[in-house]
Structure 1
Amino acid sequence: MKPFLTAATAALILAAGLARPHAVAAETVQAAATAARERINIDKDWRFAYGHADDAEKDFRHGLRPFFFAKAGYGDGPANADFSDMAWRKVDLPHDWAVELPFDARGNTNHGSKAIGHPFPENSVGWYRKVIDIPASDKGRRIALEFDGVYRDSVVWVNGHYIGTEPSGYSGFRYDITDYLNYGGHNVIAVRADATTEEGWFYEGAGIYRHVWLTKTDALHVAQWGTFVRTTVDGAKARLDIDVTVDNDGKAPETFAIRQEVFAPDGRKVAEGETTQLTVKAVASGDFTSTVTVDQAQLWSLETPHLYRLRTTILTNGVVSDSYDTTFGIRTVVFDPDKGFFLNGKNLKLQGTNNHQDHAGVGVALPDGLQTWRLKQLKSYGVNTYRASHHPPTPELLDEADRLGMLVIDEHRMMGTTPEIRGQMERMIRRDRNHPSVIIWSLGNEEWALEWNELGTRLAVEMQADAKRLDPTRRTTVATSGSGQGVSLGADVIGFNYGAQHDVDAFHRAHPDKPAMMSEEGSTLTTRGIYFDDRAASHLNAYDRQGRPGNSLSIEEGWRRVQERPWMSGMVIWTGFDYRGETTPFGWPAISSQFGMTDTTGALKDTAWYLKSVWTQKPMVHILPHWNWAGREGQAIDVRVYSNGDTVELFQDGKSLGRQTLVKDSHLKWSVPYTPGKLTAKSYIDGKLVASNEVVTTTDPATVTLTPDTTNLKADGADISVVWVNVTDKAGRIVPVAGNRVNFETSGPIRVIGVGNGDPGSHEADRPAERHAYHALSGWRSLAINSLDGGPAVADTADTATWRDPTQWLPPEAQPPATKGLVLRGQFARPVLTPGGVITLYIDRLGEGQTVYINGVTVEPKTVDGALVVDVDPASLKDNNNLAYVFATPEGGVQGLYDRSVGATKWGTLRVTTPAAPWQRSVFNGWAQVIVQSTGQPGKATLKAVSDGLKPAVVAFTARSPS
């Protein structure tokens, strides 16, 4: 659902040079404050720093202030609105700090062995802060913060006031912050995320990894996710039953009208209706339903994903109070216990993949464009169903699934009926129930404590009833590893995880009224481009086979079993993409799973080519393995061919090795002695050549090549291009055994945001980032002086034993008389500096005429954002160092100076920066990937790839201003 923006608001946003009307920085919309509704993206320009999970001193003294959690507005450390974060790193959201961390043998291999979790308290807490301006004209409106997802256990403060806690790392959440804002002034948002505790058994990332929004509405408005369009198809017509929840946050009852307008995919208005004399009490909500009819309805389908738009307008005395847009589709979905799945009355098999949400290089902080790219990559080999395992997906993925024509199994995180768990499921369903791509709600996955007992049945039935109350149009499922008892009996549609673990036929006979699908199948273990096991390198051969005999089937076996059972709705493979963590069958040093049909970069494995042969219609043929086998001359190589033809002939250096007939949904196999040269496969249908493929022995690596999916970017700071990196020989053929390291450089308004190569054993950095360590200054002493000349007080040898402790409170009657000037002096030890490291001192302006001395020597600070910044020469430091400031005595004297200092943090922060490593990646079996993103400025840009001994590659990009 995308709330409506008025034309005036949109014009202001576009004039600001931003890409999308709903993705506008808060500072650009002050003149548009009278709009009925604004939804403003506030992803840009946050400050970030690592806190500490165990040590409050290292967590910026958070939680140590008296009355911290006893009194409103007493947020401390970074939660204090006056805390100085000038030394913190600037980041844009979405942001995943875990992907920036190194690999470590102490890390959990299920989470990709990243240096995060209980052994790493210094890496497991992250702080985010942002300042937004709220115009005075917004007073009287309702203003809310909306987070699409924070991993995890997040706490939010606004202007030092505690707002709320969200334990889930996957549920979107919203806080109305109207009452806490400074209208006509600055407002500070602080977020603390603690990723110490894991929520899943796979890489989950850390931080604010999804979008954040600021929503402004009238007091009378459509509630968050407050519309639901239920469609009923009747011949060429469709009836729309429209439910609307209206919130009245005002102090008086309201009488209003609701106008509903429906717009076709081409933008034409095709239906409308208005309901008047509706009422809702003060500080209450009301639910209202209306019905309209659409003639000549265009159905949403995989081939024609037609999308309609509903505009819901609330009018009070003829004046618009709110206008809210909802995207929806018209289609029918049926899970039949005898005939399987039907979309719009057409029987089809679910050709699905399970997917976690991380991607090589960026972790879980995927730009919207990468969501699109991944879905297209799945569709390229015939996938029509995406199971979001095992949690609700990001909203943008569902938006794109709607647009591209991809079915979605939308999954709740954990089974249960407590208020917290029920609330998370309700948020998922309310958020996602207008998406035509969503065909079923998955209420849980392999809940082992519930699969074999009556409690599981009870909880499944209760959760199903909750889901039906929220959405009576869809069925529910539970994915289970054990059937016949527990949750499988309470599930509406049974989801079998792995056919070898169930007697699916016996279950179907016992429960003939229960539809079924293979919610997980495969778990095959393959490494892209590897055809002989190399377990020392965590590499497994790419031939399709049972990954866990007795527990799962090969991809081919699984699909054939589904095809043989018309009552089975389809098969959802574990998984579409490799993902960080769950390194079966290895532990350290493996860091990625190998279940995927593609690797972590989305490069297709051979199993994806098998699926393409049985899931797509365009003629194709694919040979595996490659034909570079130096040292294996004369040895027989297992050669396999996938095709959707009916016969295939294989040639070696032009000589036929025989033509074979392809059994439906199967593959062909030859045993071929290796000699350098060429293998060619030709596919035929009814004797006619329809496709061919070849593999050739390459020569030595000669060139780096770059292949971007686009070279035209929107200059919005968010748009991306996914670039394949290959090493090729002189003939331009990818060298399938190449492992050359490639360095990347950019110029112009683009930046690299991630690199990867799909190697499950690689410990190269996906996303190198600078690391900051913060060193507190201590031993503060102050001295009142009668001039602004520090004199002997700033000397390196000055004795401060008799000076005042400025952190010590004195009653008013004990305060000394104010003098013209003040010396404030602290000390710090020499910080540990890595090669290339930088030491920087950040100081707030404490008083007029402020001068700075380090070890008695005057230094000249720079002024950055109104603060003083000193680049410290490491050669000037000693084991113990003193820092002195001289300035005019500020208002309130020493006591006032300390009261405003947030525990003396504004008096100075010493930051030690370890610079980021260069952007580089070794190709793995000839392949790697780099993701580039626009910086927000228009212009020409280049990406250059350089590798020792190889010809470099350069690709040009254009970043264009939004039109």
Structure 2
Amino acid sequence: MKKERINDNWLFWKDGHETEKQLINLPHDAMLTEERVPDLPNGNATGFYPGGKYIYTKNLFGTEALREKSVSVEFEGVYMNSKVFLNEEEVGGWIYGYTNFYVDLTDRLKIGEDNELKVIVDNSETPNSRWYSGSGIYRSVNLWTGEKHHIKPEGIKIKTVSINPAEVEVSIEAEKTEDMTILCEVLKDGKIAASFAGEYSTVQIPNGKLWDAEHPELYTLKAVLKNGDGIVDEAQTRFGIRMITWGTEKGFQINGNTVKLRGGCVHHDHGPLGACAYDKAEYRRVKKLKEAGFNAIRYSHNPAGKNFLDVCDELGMYVLDETFDQWELSQSPYDYSQYFAKEWKKDVTALVSKDYNHPCVVMYCIGNEITDTGLPSGAEISRMLNEAFHQLDSTRPTTIAVNSMLSVLAAKQAEKRKAGEKNVGSEDVNDILTLLPKIMASITPENLETLIGECISYVDIPGYNYGHNLYEGTHKLAPKRLILSTETFPKTMDTNWAAVEQNDYVIGDFMWTAWDYLGEAGVGLPVYGTTQAPFSKDYPCLTAACGSFDLTGFPESQAYYSAVMWGAYDKPYIGVRPVNHSGEEYTLGRWRLTDSLNCWTWPGQEGREAEIEVYSIGDSVELFQDGQSMGRKPLEAYKCDFHTAYRPGVLEAVCYDSDGKEIARDSLVTAGEETRLTILKEDDVIRADGEDLAYVTVYITDEKGNLKMMTNRKISVTVEGPGRLLAVGSGNPETEEKFTDGVYTSWHGRVIAIIRSEKEAGRIKVTASAEGMESVSAEIMSDI
């Protein structure tokens, strides 16, 4: 069948605001159009954005070519409770906001007329999520058209059955008559690598190249449905030759090679774009994480989008795709738990169908911090879910991300539910997580095994959130069981990774988080003047403030620490704790490694003590201030600390091996007196397809381009030519500014502007200005 994106020219309005209709293009996040509400109940979960009920409509013209044809519409992601109508007749919909789904329009279109496709999205019952969910049609919509006899969308399934020789098993689901045939070709770089006929076949691929994160070799299978000599339908899908095995002797293996997962957890939003899942946004994030040394992403805590998986296939990134954040017990008042019993099988089936041919997906997670795990009913649900996954896909292992504290609390609350109280795991679970370290320390492997042993016995590789203290004891109790660190504190990154490296049975670590995100406001936000702070922060806090990369994709000190630890960064990194807070009490929040910045420009702070952190490979580091040595110190857990009085100048760090031989050096320099805007584009050329994005960063610098992180300005951005400004924003976790206003105050000396292409070629000019400063521009070619 022919697949065509139909993202253009939708009408959108909020229910009850019919006079305020807007013409928009998808993807679209309606939540981002709402005014933030400072006193919103549980508002810190969503960054204080409320939900709502929204309507989207689009006209589909019934051309003569569609008469007697098969027609369906695929929605890759609609949050949430959607109902789909064609000409006011309800034709489909989906409850869960992260699952792709199809609506069959065959024989329903009026030929020769406009047909109104309407989608009603109801995200008005909030809170229903522990993070920023977004609202509306935030992923792409596709129109599928073809003959009544056709190969079904997602109908091709490819399974690797051998890697030496390379051999795959192919099954094709088609609507066809008995006399129709299916011919297939396996293509590599446009050349035929193998060919065969039939709906079911096992095919050997000569000199087959294997897919893994270091060598993301991809093939394309092209299938043609024929009736005699005539072509009825064509379909194709990409795949990789990749086999997963696991066991306690060799750990987790890809193609027979043991792999340790250098992982990070990522929520689905893209900061200034809200939940909108643009192809370029997905590509940019995965590319930056891979360059920082990550080889795995845990998509937290919901099914990943198709374009994200496409990027991970192409760039080489292992993916843990996740189902649910709750089963039958709720995590927030209006969440998926109220639908779980009736809907889970549909969502699991759709997830596996979507993921099946993606080599990047190496594991399924059946749930995150599920409170039911502490109850007998949780064990039965775990059994059902794992049975369903294994029936649908026998090639990938399952896991579950257990938070033992929540399991213990759920067990204690069982008596309350017996007394007729509301069926709740913990509606304030995020606040309770403040107690996590203290409670976790009191839980022993023995009592945890008694409580959740049956539940986790059904998954192939149990995952533990914040449970590294349990690994050794758990391994003694269940020596044949592998362990995955599904979520860990950045503060204990070195010991987390040591457990992975030193134990075959610990297969990887996923830090919380790899990338900052909207909602869970301030869980990693540094607070000065006190050593105590709540789990989350009040308005106007917007983001979690806990990523290795900030909201706009710039690496924090934490990203360099893990890169050094993994051997992905080969020179010393210099971080300086905020000199303007020198000597103050402070707390970082449990989900942040450090508040240090790669900065030696602290105007007005001369003479105050500067605390300097150096992360490095090697055995020791020597730090120089203005050419004078401050001493050489041994590295402990990839780090050493120095203290000095701040003065403008140069800091230089030199790292040495165990023989005292220099390995590498790097420096920080104080910016000069002059202050100006500097503009840099990430791409010279983008596609004129109406969906490609250009990222442009505006910096506050001196005349030599040295960043002034402590100097910030309100920056306006305008766009000329065939492009549209989507957002301007920064990594600031505390702000009342809007990403959609075209004006934003820089944070750490920078803002980012995101521009969407139009469907015409030409030169896009992006101009940035600030009061009292000379404007700067960058030009990007948009080409067909």
Q: TM-score range by the shorter chain?
A: 0.7 to 0.9
Structure 1 residues 112, 128: CA separation in 2 closer, same or farther (over 3 Å shift)? same
Deviations 1:64-95 (A, max 9, x none): xxxxxxxxxxxxxxxxxxxxx8x721100000
Alignment match of 2:496 (pick from 550, 558, 573): 558
- Deviation, 1:762, is 1.2
Deviations 1:165-189 (A, max 9, x none): 3111111111111121112221110
- Deviation, 1:702, is 1.2
Partner of 1:203: 132
Work out which of the two has the higher radius of gyration on C-alpha atoms and give 1 or 2.
1
Task: Report SS of the residue matched to 1:263.
Answer: strand
- Deviation, 1:386, is 0.8
Task: Report SS of the residue matched to 2:463.
Answer: strand
Deviations 1:767-791 (A, max 9, x none): 23xxxxxxxxxxxxxxxxxxxxxxx
Taking the aligned partners of 1:623 and 1:680, their CA distance within structure 2 comes to: 8
Mapped contact 2:55–2:118 kept (Cα < 8 A): yes
Partner of 2:385: 463
Greater helix share, 1 or 2? 2
Taking the aligned partners of 1:229 and 1:192, their CA distance within structure 2 comes to: 35
Taking the aligned partners of 1:633 and 1:587, their CA distance within structure 2 comes to: 33
Taking the aligned partners of 2:622 and 2:293, their CA distance within structure 1 comes to: 24
Taking the aligned partners of 2:779 and 2:239, their CA distance within structure 1 comes to: 38
Structure 1 residues 59, 762: CA separation in 2 closer, same or farther (over 3 Å shift)? closer
- Deviation, 1:420, is 1.5
- Note if 1:43 corresponds to 2:15: no
Give the letter aligned to residue 8 of structure 2: K
Partner of 1:493: 461
Any unmatched runs of 5+ in structure 2?
A: 329-339, 405-447, 524-534, 577-598
Give the letter aligned to residue 260 of structure 1: C
- Note if 1:192 corresponds to 2:120: yes
Task: Report SS of the residue matched to 1:755.
Answer: strand
Taking the aligned partners of 2:159 and 2:205, their CA distance within structure 1 comes to: 12
- Deviation, 1:628, is 3.1
Give the letter aligned to residue 404 of structure 1: L
- Note if 1:767 corresponds to 2:740: yes
- Note if 1:424 corresponds to 2:347: yes
For residues 519-668 of structure 1, the aligned pairs below 5 Å read 519-522=486-489, 524=490, 545=491, 554-583=492-521, 584=523, 585=535, 586-625=537-576, 626-663=599-636, 665-668=637-640
Partner of 2:59: 131
Taking the aligned partners of 2:258 and 2:382, their CA distance within structure 1 comes to: 28
Structure 1 residues 647, 764: CA separation in 2 closer, same or farther (over 3 Å shift)? same
- Note if 1:326 corresponds to 2:259: no
- Note if 1:945 corresponds to 2:768: yes
Instruction: Compute the RMSD of aligned alpha carbons.
Output: 1.9
Partner of 1:872: none
Taking the aligned partners of 1:632 and 1:745, their CA distance within structure 2 comes to: 35
Partner of 1:721: 694
- Deviation, 1:639, is 0.8
Mapped contact 1:701–1:950 kept (Cα < 8 A): no
Partner of 2:715: 742
Partner of 2:259: 348
Give the letter aligned to residue 497 of structure 1: N
- Deviation, 1:573, is 0.8
Give the letter aligned to residue 208 of structure 1: I
Deviations 1:739-772 (A, max 9, x none): 211111111112211122111111110123xxxx
- Deviation, 1:214, is 0.8
Partner of 2:142: 213
Taking the aligned partners of 1:763 and 1:715, their CA distance within structure 2 comes to: 33
Q: How many residues align?
A: 688
Partner of 1:95: 28
Structure 1 residues 335, 673: CA separation in 2 closer, same or farther (over 3 Å shift)? farther
Taking the aligned partners of 2:246 and 2:263, their CA distance within structure 1 comes to: 15
Taking the aligned partners of 1:407 and 1:274, their CA distance within structure 2 comes to: 32
Mapped contact 1:203–1:580 kept (Cα < 8 A): yes
Give the letter aligned to residue 601 of structure 2: N
Mapped contact 1:360–1:754 kept (Cα < 8 A): no
For residues 287-436 of structure 1, the aligned pairs below 5 Å read 288-413=199-324, 414-415=326-327, 418-436=341-359
Give the letter aligned to residue 171 of structure 1: T
Task: Report SS of the residue matched to 1:928.
Answer: strand
Structure 1 residues 473, 415: CA separation in 2 closer, same or farther (over 3 Å shift)? farther
Taking the aligned partners of 1:352 and 1:475, their CA distance within structure 2 comes to: 17
- Note if 1:934 corresponds to 2:750: no
Structure 1 residues 222, 110: CA separation in 2 closer, same or farther (over 3 Å shift)? farther
Give the letter aligned to residue 156 of structure 2: T
Partner of 1:826: none
Any unmatched runs of 5+ in structure 1?
A: 1-36, 52-57, 61-84, 118-123, 276-287, 525-544, 546-553, 769-918
Give the letter aligned to residue 457 of structure 2: L
- Deviation, 1:356, is 0.5
Task: Report SS of the residue matched to 1:660.
Answer: strand
Percent of aligned positions that are identical: 29
Partner of 1:274: 197
Runs of 4+ in 1 over 6 A off after TM superposition: none
Partner of 1:816: none
- Deviation, 1:192, is 0.9
- Shifted more, 722-731 versus 628-637: the winner is 628-637
- Shifted more, 676-685 versus 200-209: the winner is 676-685
Mapped contact 1:109–1:591 kept (Cα < 8 A): no
Deviations 1:335-382 (A, max 9, x none): 322442222222231001110011221101132111100101111210
Taking the aligned partners of 1:132 and 1:668, their CA distance within structure 2 comes to: 63
Taking the aligned partners of 1:702 and 1:334, their CA distance within structure 2 comes to: 56
- Deviation, 1:695, is 1.9
Give the letter aligned to residue 203 of structure 1: Y
Task: Report SS of the residue matched to 1:255.
Answer: coil
Mapped contact 1:106–1:115 kept (Cα < 8 A): no
Deviations 1:894-930 (A, max 9, x none): xxxxxxxxxxxxxxxxxxxxxxxxx111111212211
Taking the aligned partners of 2:478 and 2:17, their CA distance within structure 1 comes to: 56
- Deviation, 1:141, is 1.2
Deviations 1:201-223 (A, max 9, x none): 10011111111111012222222
- Deviation, 1:934, is 1.2
- Shifted more, 502-511 versus 175-184: the winner is 502-511
Give the letter aligned to residue 758 of structure 2: T
Task: Report SS of the residue matched to 1:467.
Answer: helix
- Shifted more, 320-329 versus 219-228: the winner is 219-228
Give the letter aligned to residue 464 of structure 2: F
Task: Report SS of the residue matched to 2:107.
Answer: helix
Taking the aligned partners of 1:674 and 1:434, their CA distance within structure 2 comes to: 55
- Deviation, 1:325, is 0.4
Give the letter aligned to residue 437 of structure 1: C
